[in-house]
Structure 1
Amino acid sequence: MTSSTYCSLCGKENYILQRYCCNCGNTLKTYRIKPNLTYQSLESLITEENKNKILNTQITDEVYTKIMTNIRDMGLMNLNFTNQDTTFDKIVKMTRQFSKLHSGKKWGVYGYYHFNNIVIDDDYNEAMKTCTLIHELSHHLYSEVFEQLLMYIFDSPKTDAIEAIVQYAVIQNPYYAIGNEYLAYTSEGYFMNNAMKDYASIYKLIEDNDLDMKRVGNMCVIGNAVAYDVIKILEAVIDKNLKQELAQLCRAYNLRPVVDKDLDNVPLITDNVEKGKIIKSIIVDIFNFFLNNDYDDELLFELMQGFREANKY
């Protein structure tokens, strides 16, 4: 679990999850390599042995912090704002540090996140598009936390199989999707003065799936816990001045805070070891489902194919 990789440019030793060399900033060749041996297929990933490996690997405070630092560093590397950049331009640049960004339309939504791509509808004003970007980027970062934790546990680079199983865990399962959505609303609300924080997608998930409300509450606690880390990651870019610009943008377009007494007051878990245990329990739950049930492997195959296509470019 302590593997290192060495920079091909300066020779500096780097932790395996680093995307860029900590010494010279060179892109590390092993960040998205495709090794011959490990976890290129769902059959090689979803095994009893790997489930036990997840259960038996301790996520210490140091490991959890390192994972968050790695993700934060992706957002900072070679990021430059100019005097000509508008507030919206800056959020666009930040988003592109982590994810691919496109314009497009999907009925009933301002934007969406799919296979490491964020799509937003350009017909809306800049304040609404900014809210949407932060919301969808938060989804991406939530997945990234799960993926990097699995990369650490399996001592593996990122693969399509790892991305597919995480996608299933945080989006396809309705309960875990609640945590994902709560995280996105919380992160967006923190930076955008709670504008557009109506929890609409959460209420829709509850209505469409007839979910148990006690478990929904637990998922909101999980989403709130990781939102704390996503906010810290984004604060490396959205400093005090940029946050003030975001507040001004909301006022300029008359976007006002939305209050929801039922969902706004969720307990906050800040202990990194506890958060690591929670994330592991979600992944183990998904592994158990696939190991112990007949399931639609066509969906998982489609997820893998989606990431394979997205990662070509």
Structure 2
Amino acid sequence: MNNKVICNNCGHENQINSNQCSQCEEELRNYSYFNNNFQDFYKLFSSDNLELLKKIPLTDTAYDSILNNIIDIGNENYQVFPEDPNVQHLIKISKPYARVQYDNTNAQLNLFSYYSFNKIFINRNTPNNMIPGAIIHELSHHLFNEIIKQSIMHLLNIEKSLYIESFAWYLTLQNDYLKIANEFACHRVQEYFIPENFTGYTSLIQLLDENKELEKEKIEKALNVGLSVSKDIIFVLEKYISPTMTINPEMSEYHKLDYNIQELDEQNKLNAMYTIIFNTFEFVSNHKRDMLPVLSDLNENYIRYNI
């Protein structure tokens, strides 16, 4: 489904939203992709697309195809690295998905790392032994976001675009329960691959503490979604990283959380994801005048980070 942008230096086909060739690191200038055109907004959030979403469910066959599409993005680096991959291995794995770089702005000094608009930022004060886990955690955020984007693209049968990128960002930023699912999934993936340096579910616990007004039952549903999606992210990353899980999954630290967390069956997971996507798409579609500047602002941030 994805178009490609061709590197003028080496001829390598890169993802449509790339700003650097993943083969030779030549700068790419795909200005047509990074065009904040309000007409694209109205075309995406049209009544026709809303009606299409109402009719097409997210099926297990489609979801398998989505995961394979995501794996295909990284296929140029298709090789399984040994257990305990070092930082350079992980940067190579991440490269087709999200660029890893040190944070020179000191914007998030309280964090080892953070992910924003297809960039993984590592705090320069992060201890060396914590950097691999930080990269895996932030790459998992990207893959969680990519699953949302690919699901939207499949449901509407459209190519990836700047407004698809921004809608996925808006969806994951404005829905408190999806933020919880996202954060839990990333901790779980990190714990799976690098259990010996895992520091616990710290940022998830902080997120829960900051949202004490949320309903416990809905939080548990979000955590169930997060656990289920974490297995999909692990499925993708195991194509590139040998699993190093040496502890019984039942001994995972998430069992210490004060919630009943259970993996969802496939259909309930897909129903939950579809409901979140549809409800948010319907809201944007029905409030275009108010939502255009919101998503356009996200577009501008995405452009600023990637050009």
**Please, what TM-score do these two structures have when normalized by structure 2?**
0.77
Match of 2:269 in 1: 275
Match of 1:212 in 2: 215
Length, aligned pairs only: 277
Q: Aligned to 2:115, what secondary structure does the other structure show?
A: strand
Gap change, CA 1:78 and 1:51, over 3 Å in 2: same
Q: What's the offset of the Cα at 1:143? A: 0.7
Matched, 1:301 2:296: yes
Matched, 1:136 2:131: no
Runs of 5+ unmatched residues, structure 1: 1-15, 248-256
In the alignment, the residues of structure 1 paired with residue 255 and residue 199 of structure 2 have an alpha-carbon distance, to the nearest angstrom, of 8
Runs of 5+ unmatched residues, structure 2: 6-10, 19-29, 247-251
Question: Aligned match of 2:281 in 264, 279, 287?
Answer: 287
Q: Which amino acid aligns with 1:280?
A: Y
Gap change, CA 1:239 and 1:220, over 3 Å in 2: same
Stretch moving more, 281-290 or 62-71: 281-290
In the alignment, the residues of structure 2 paired with residue 239 and residue 18 of structure 1 have an alpha-carbon distance, to the nearest angstrom, of 30
Matched, 1:95 2:94: yes
Gap change, CA 1:259 and 1:225, over 3 Å in 2: closer
Q: Could you list the per-position Cα deviations for residues 70-108 of structure 1 after superposition, in whole angstroms to 9, with x for gaps in the alignment?
A: 11122231456999x962221121122311111013121
RMSD: 3.3
In the alignment, the residues of structure 1 paired with residue 14 and residue 160 of structure 2 have an alpha-carbon distance, to the nearest angstrom, of 13
Aligned 8 A contact 1:17 1:31 in 2: no
Q: What's the offset of the Cα at 1:204? A: 2.7
In the alignment, the residues of structure 2 paired with residue 192 and residue 117 of structure 1 have an alpha-carbon distance, to the nearest angstrom, of 21
**Please, what TM-score do these two structures have when normalized by structure 1?**
0.76
Gap change, CA 1:162 and 1:296, over 3 Å in 2: closer
Match of 1:149 in 2: 151
Gap change, CA 1:82 and 1:267, over 3 Å in 2: closer
In the alignment, the residues of structure 2 paired with residue 197 and residue 48 of structure 1 have an alpha-carbon distance, to the nearest angstrom, of 46
Q: Aligned to 1:98, what secondary structure does the other structure show?
A: coil
Q: Which amino acid aligns with 1:213?
A: K
Q: Aligned to 1:237, what secondary structure does the other structure show?
A: coil
Matched, 1:237 2:240: yes
Matched, 1:107 2:106: no
Q: Aligned to 1:97, what secondary structure does the other structure show?
A: coil
In the alignment, the residues of structure 2 paired with residue 108 and residue 66 of structure 1 have an alpha-carbon distance, to the nearest angstrom, of 38
Q: Aligned to 2:154, what secondary structure does the other structure show?
A: helix
Question: Aligned match of 2:13 in 14, 27, 47?
Answer: 27
Give the 5 Å matches for 1:176-215: 176-193=178-195, 195-209=197-211, 210-215=213-218
Q: What's the offset of the Cα at 1:238? A: 0.6
Match of 2:261 in 1: 266
Q: Share of identical aligned residues, percent?
A: 25
In the alignment, the residues of structure 1 paired with residue 154 and residue 69 of structure 2 have an alpha-carbon distance, to the nearest angstrom, of 12
Q: Aligned to 1:120, what secondary structure does the other structure show?
A: strand
Q: What's the offset of the Cα at 1:178? A: 0.7
